[in-house]
Structure 1
Amino acid sequence: MAGDIQVREQRDGLAMSSVRRSILFSAVDRYGSLVLFLVVTAVLSRLLSPTEFGVYAVVNAVTAVIGASFQEFGGGNYLIQKRDLSPADIRSAFTISLGISVAIALLLFVLAGALSDLFAQDGLKKGIEVSALNFFLAPFSGTISALLRRDMKFGTLAICNFAAGVAVAVVSIGLAIAGFSYMAPVWGALAGSVVLTLTLLASHRDFDALRPSLLKYREIVSFGLYASGVSVINVFYNLAPQLFLARILDFMSVGLYSRAINLTQTFDKLVTQVLNPVIMPAIVARRQAGDDLKAVYLEAIELLSAAHWPFLIFVAIMARPIIAIWLGETWLEVVSLVRLLCIANMALFAACLSYPMLVAVGSVRDALVSSFISLPPSLLVIFGASFFGVQAVAASAVLTLPFQAAVAIYFIGRHLGFRPTDIIRALMKSVVVTAVTALGTSGCAALTEAGIVTPLAGLASGLCAAALCWSLGLLLTGHPLLHQLHLAAASLARAAPKLRPSRSAL
């Protein structure tokens, strides 16, 4: 018995070590991409107007919505969640993905003119046609990325994604300086897709997995029906405000709203997108190991909320100096939008867990059902708000996002067997940590708003105060996140000697 317990503990320790290592490589990947994103956005915000950004945002939204309609057929999530993955599974998934992606690209070429007329913007046609070229590359990069994620090879992914990010940055900025207007980031995105596909193919080199086959098409289509339904309704919901604003108001409103969304979603780029590639494989592995997914979920939301909430509160309080420094004084209209969206997004502390959890318990159908319950009413609210301006659209999120979160948690609770009181208990310490962080940040914001200190000095002091108060809140509450940070620091300390070159190598 003691031997079994020891073996189990060793297994769990190795599993957690693998997850932490994967998160570390994923963090390197995402933070490198985030730095490039911040630099590119800061430069382009000074080269392009809000209206030009608005046109680019609509091009992005149209292609993303149409692409999401079918791309989850044979997509990455099928390959990751499959318990026993055979070569036939991979080939069939790739073949279906390739066929659908080519069809989407051709559909976009056909619809480009009509969509341009719908939004009364001639430039949309060329932008959509260029963006459609990305779909010819997506099956290759998507399949190889999914296989690397399944095998937890996040180091290789980080190198490939960083190379693609550099290509996006160089091409977008170069073309914007050359006067390509909103087409600069469109061409930049295509350049990034080309570089990503080439680097992934060079790193994988198992081209046998990309041979055409439809041997396992039934299972893939069955999974894809639900997965694509979840994908399209969520993507459309996320991009609907920009489409509504473009159709009802103007492209300047779209530009302002898209910049506000970008800042509000910085936490996603800092944390959630670091965890996203790891969450699905990790949860599936925990399920296969026989772990209690209820405990896993409650522990995860406790950790996520302690980082998510304080970050959003900090961004909401310090929005003015952040916008002034990052985007420039001409974008200060975005400040009020950012504050509303930050408050609304606090409801989504567990959003990144919802789909992986439902897939892990074998209920991808419930992911679709919950989306159909929560998102259509939310879209109606946003549509109505768009007639009253961009401020009203941002304010509507304060109603819609908590409703969506409640529906998702309800469906997960049905499978995992937790009650609302379990959720409240798991979040109590994070509430205290968030309040302490807000208290420390508010003083620095007040000094900045009064003009006593410059935006740069105010932001720097706010960051220091927020970090200090956040750490104090973790200590006062004995938050589990503190223990996880200690473990991560210890892992980095152990890894550091291995990263240094040996004397013999020198």
Structure 2
Amino acid sequence: MSSVQRSILFSAFDRYASLLLFVVVTAVLARLLSPSEFGIYAVANAIISVISACFQEFAGASYLVQKRELTRANVQTTFTITMVISAAAAMALFALAQPLSHLFEMPSLKRGIEVSALNLLLLPFSGTISALFRREMEFGVLAICNLIAGMVVATVSVVLAVADFSYMAPIWGGVAGNAMLALMLLMWRRDFGAMRPSLLDCREIVGFGLYSGAVSVVNVFYGLAPQLFLAKILDFASVGLYSRATALTQVFDKLVTQVLSPVIMPAVVARSKAGGDLKSVYLDAVQLLSVVQWPFMIFVAVMARPIVLLWLGPTWLEIVPVVRLLCVGSLALFAACLTYPVFVTVGRVHDALISSLISLPPSLLVIFGASFLGVEAVAASAILTLPFQAAVAVYFLGRQLNFRPGEFARALLKSGIVTAIASSGVIISATLTEAESLAPVVALMSGGVAVALCWWLGLVITGHPLLHELHRAAIGLVESLQGRRARYP
């Protein structure tokens, strides 16, 4: 088994274990907290996420991973800059908690922001060490640390929710989880010298971070903007509904994209160092991602009602149309996880910023206008904005990798056929189960079997490249297991 395949395997374990915890905790909290309480938590989390994205990427993970020859001074300076910025941001956020709560007309938001600011003091430690482990493809270590931290988040959040801590339960859970993650990584690495203050080579790090940080902030703010707009224009219950709908549509990200994302950049950088053709790498990856993401999103859209009933309960059924609209819009994001790593690898990180500045401001205006019309209108706006953003990113990538629109379309042809075949299976299954008024769990199981069988049939009919990749991965896994048995009979 290659190092990339092994890294993906460990990353998958990490993300799937985290997803399982997320599903269970969300199901419990959905029955303990109201949509309004979820909304307050979502807004506090959104504010922290935007700020943390700034300093994490300004001098953080991406620089450490993509640096060809990494020195001790690079690591120390990266940590120093990140720590200074995060401490300043934490103090500023603590001071601005009161004005922000007035802005959103929610006094209780103040406490949530103040406690959430503690996360900013912990992230420099976990972010720096995680980046070093990612660079070294040590995803097994990250999987263990993230799993333990996730269990802490789940336990603290549920216990405090039962104890009537309301929206503060998941906020305190997040702080406890980040503290455990930083502690675990520090104990595992045992390289406290990397945290020594230094400003050597700070000009190079800051130069990279200006573009990298700007890209991250712009994209994170865009992702969280609907919740902030809804909180200001409508109410926190709308934020809670939208945030739960978004969480459901992001299950694919947790199942696949977040498994691959930590591996993509170091793998692409290694392929570039070896003189590989990045154009073929990108187009091959596009084929593999689209044939998995498209059928999955169609399945979630069609089966949104039984999924919501089982996961969140009947009180959340009004998010079903929101989920369906977001799923349709998200079909355009099948290759989003490739965009930034490829730009960084070809040395054009500023193109990532330019493409974001072209596509995101108009998208934000559309979302802002839709916020006055309600949650469903905001979700419907994704059908316009997300394809536009994807088209701009692909245009800039095409200029760097020298592929034409026709080549990109041909790379997606087989995936489109497979998706059509898989979609017909799940739609027929959903129609039959609704006509017979079957229980949600039965509807989901029948729909899942139908889409899986039709998806596999589509792969075989089209001869999709994913079949070869699955076969190669299976052979690698079998050989790896046989090698272990030979060593340890």
Give the letter aligned to residue 119 of structure 2.
N
CA distance in 2, matches of 1:500, 1:291: 34
Q: Which amino acid aligns with 2:117?
A: A
Q: Does residue 467 of the first structure (1) align with residue 452 of the second (2)?
A: yes
TM-superposition CA deviations, 1:260-279 (whole Å, max 9, x none): 10010100000000000000
Equivalent residues of 1:316, 1:342 under 8 A apart? yes
Contact 2:43/2:228 (8 A) holds in 1: yes
| Aligned residue among 397, 407, 430 for 1:445 | 430
Residues 1:275 and 2:279 aligned together: no
Counterparts of residues 204-219 of structure 1 (less than 5 Å): 204-219=189-204
Query: Aligned residue for 2:470?
Result: 485
Asked if 1:403 corresponds to 2:388, the answer is yes
The answer on whether the counterparts of 1:46 and 1:327 sit within 8 Å (CA) in structure 2 is: yes
Aligned to 1:55: 40
Instruction: Give the Å deviation of 1:210.
Output: 1.4
1:236 is matched with which residue?
221
Please, which of 9, 26, 31 is the counterpart of residue 16 of structure 2? Answer: 31
* Inter-CA distance 205–323: structure 2 relative to 1 (3 Å threshold): same
Task: Tell me: CA distance 1:331–1:499, structure 2 relative to 1, closer, same or farther (3 Å).
Answer: farther
2:30 corresponds to 1:45:
yes
1:263 to 238, 245, 248: 248
Instruction: Say if 1:174 and 1:497 are closer, same or farther in 2 by CA, change over 3 A.
Output: farther
Q: Deviations over 1:328-349 (max 9, x none)?
A: 1111111100110001000011
Counterpart selection for 1:373 from 351, 358, 368: 358
Tell me the percent identity: 65
Q: Distance in 2 between matches of 1:55 and 1:347?
A: 30
Aligned residues of 2:58 and 2:214 also touching (Cα < 8 A): no
Secondary structure at 1:180 match in 2: coil
Q: Conserved in 2, the CA contact under 8 Å of 1:280 and 1:356?
A: yes
Name the CA distance, whole Å, in 2 between partners of 1:323 and 1:67. 31
Offset at residue 122 of structure 1 (A): 1.1
User: Which among 320, 323, 335 is matched to residue 338 of structure 1?
Assistant: 323
Cα 1:320–1:19, aligned 2, differ >3 Å: closer, same or farther? same
How far 1:500 moved relative to its partner?
6.8
Does 2:427 correspond to 1:427?
Answer: no
Q: Which residue of 1 aligns with 2:80?
A: 95
The one-letter code matched in structure 1 to 2:277 is D
Distance in 2, Cα, partners of 1:498 & 1:39: 36
Structure 1 position 111 matched with structure 2 position 96: yes
Deviation at 1:116, TM superposition (A): 0.5
Equivalent positions of 1:35-434 (< 5 A) are 35-434=20-419
Q: Which whole-Å deviations, capped at 9, do the CAs of 1:215-269 have from their partners, x for residues lacking one? A: 1100010001001110111011000000000000011110111011001010000
Counterparts of 1:77 and 1:124, CA distance in 2: 32
How far apart in 2 are the matches of 1:146 and 1:112? 30
Aligned 8 A contact 2:59 2:213 in 1: no
Structure 1 unaligned regions, length at least 5: 1-13
**Residue type at the aligned position of 1:157:** L
Shift of 1:351: 0.4
* Secondary structure in structure 1 of the residue aligned to 2:58: coil
| Residue correspondences, number | 489
Task: Show structure 2 runs of 5+ residues with no match.
Answer: none
Q: Distance in 2 between matches of 1:395 and 1:77?
A: 33
CA distance in 2, matches of 1:499, 1:389: 57
On the 8 A contact 1:172/1:184 being kept in 2, the answer is yes
For the Cα contact (< 8 Å) 1:261–1:341, is it kept in 2? yes
Cα displacement (A) at 1:442: 0.9
Separation in structure 1 between the aligned mates of residue 57 and residue 92 of structure 2, nearest angstrom: 17
Q: CA deviation at 1:69?
A: 3.0
Q: How many Å separate the matches in 1 of 2:247 and 2:233?
A: 22
* AA partner of residue 28 (structure 1): F
Q: Which amino acid aligns with 1:126?
A: R
Match for 1:290: what amino acid?
A: G
Structure 1 residue 497 displacement after superposition: 4.6
8 Å CA contact retained: 2:246, 2:323: yes
Letter aligned with residue 477 of structure 2: L
In structure 2, the residue corresponding to 1:122 is in which secondary structure? Answer: coil
The 3 A distance-change label for structure 1 pair 503 and 236 is closer
- CA distance in 2 between counterparts of 1:39 and 1:210 reads 36
1:18 Cα deviation from its structure 2 partner: 1.1
Q: If the length of structure 1 is used for normalisation, what is the TM-score? A: 0.95
CA distance in 2, matches of 1:221, 1:412: 24
Please, what is the CA RMSD of the aligned residues?
A: 1.3
Shift in Å, 1:502:
8.3
Q: Compute the displacement of 1:469 (Å).
A: 0.8
